[in-house]
Amino acid sequence: MIPLLLLCALALDSIHYTRGLEAAQSKRWDEARQEFLEGRREAPSDKRFLIELAGIDYRTGQFARARAELRAALRIDPSDAYANDFLGTLYFLDSNYEAAIKYWNRTGKPRIESIETVPPPPVRPELLDRALAFAPGEILSQDHYSSTLAWIRGLDAFGDSRLELVARPQEQFDAVLRWTPTNRWTEAAAGLDGIPFQTFRYERHNLGQSAATIGATYRWDAQKRRILAEYSAPLEGDPRMRYRLYTDDRSETWNFEGTNPQAPGDFRLRKVEAGGSLRRTPSGRFSWEMGARVAERWFGGVTPFASGASVVASLAADYRLLNLPEQGLTLDAKGVAEVGRFFSSAGGIYSRAEASLEGHWRPDTRSKYEASFGVRTGRILGAAPFDELFSLGRERDDAMGLPGYIGTRWGKKGLAPTGGQYAVAHFDLFHEVWKPWLGAVDVGPLLDAGRMWHQISGDFAGQILVDGGVAVRLRLPGVSFVLSYARPMRGGVGAWDAAVH
Mind giving me the DSSP string for 201-260?
EEEEEEETTTTEEEEEEEE--TTEEEEEEEEEEEETTEEEEEEEEEEEEEEEEEE-TTT-
157 and 53 in a common domain: no
362 located within any domain: no
What are the tens digits of pLDDT across the range 69-120? 999 999 999 999 999 999 999 999 999 999 999 999 999 999 999 999 999 9
Q: What is the pTM of this model?
A: 0.89
153 and 101 in a common domain: no
100 and 23 in a common domain: yes
43 located within any domain: yes
What are the tens digits of pLDDT across the range 383-413? 999 999 998 887 777 666 788 888 888 888 8
331 located within any domain: no
148 and 66 in a common domain: no
Decide if pLDDT at 184 tops 70.
no
482 located within any domain: yes
- Across the range 17-41, mean pLDDT stands at 91
CA-CA distances (angstroms) from residue 59 to 29, 88, 430? 9, 16, 32
d(CA 492, CA 448): 15
Confidence (pLDDT) at 461: 79
44 located within any domain: yes
Which of residues 46, 80, 107 is at a domain's end?
A: 107
Element (H, E) at 85: helix 81-93
Confidence (pLDDT) at 459: 74
Query: What's the mean pLDDT when you consider all of the chain?
Result: 90
70 and 38 in a common domain: yes
137 located within any domain: yes
- Across the range 137-142, mean pLDDT stands at 96
Phi then psi dihedrals of residue 418, to 5 deg: -125, 135
447 and 462 in a common domain: yes
Confidence (pLDDT) at 333: 98
Decide if pLDDT at 275 tops 80.
yes
Which CATH number characterizes residue 143's domain?
3.10.20.310
Which of residues 107, 141, 168 is at a domain's end?
A: 107
Least reliable range by pLDDT among 53-67, 225-239, 342-356, 478-492: 478-492
Which CATH number characterizes residue 45's domain?
1.25.40.10
131 and 40 in a common domain: no
d(CA 148, CA 131): 6
Is there a cis peptide before residue 196, judged by omega within 30 degrees of 0?
Answer: no
**Residues 188, 481 contacting (CB under 8 angstroms):** no
pLDDT bracket for residue 458 (50, 70, 90): confident
170 located within any domain: yes
348 located within any domain: no
395 and 462 in a common domain: yes
pLDDT bracket for residue 315 (50, 70, 90): very high
Structural domains counted in the chain: 3
What are the tens digits of pLDDT across the range 53-67? 999 999 999 999 999
Which of residues 145, 165, 180 is at a domain's end?
A: 180
Q: Which domain range does residue 60 map to?
A: 2-107
123 and 16 in a common domain: no
Percent of the chain with pLDDT over 70: 93
Interaxial angle between packed helices 29-42 and 2-25, expressed in degrees from 0 to 180 and rounded to the nearest 10: 160
- Across the range 13-34, mean pLDDT stands at 88
d(CA 209, CA 123): 4
Confidence (pLDDT) at 8: 45
d(CA 231, CA 245): 5
pLDDT bracket for residue 293 (50, 70, 90): very high
**Residues 407, 389 contacting (CB under 8 angstroms):** no
Q: Which residue has the higher pLDDT, 225 or 302?
A: 225
d(CA 185, CA 110): 39
Q: β-strands 160-168, 172-180: how paired?
A: antiparallel
pLDDT bracket for residue 10 (50, 70, 90): very low
68 and 160 in a common domain: no
Confidence (pLDDT) at 2: 41
13 and 91 in a common domain: yes
119 and 65 in a common domain: no
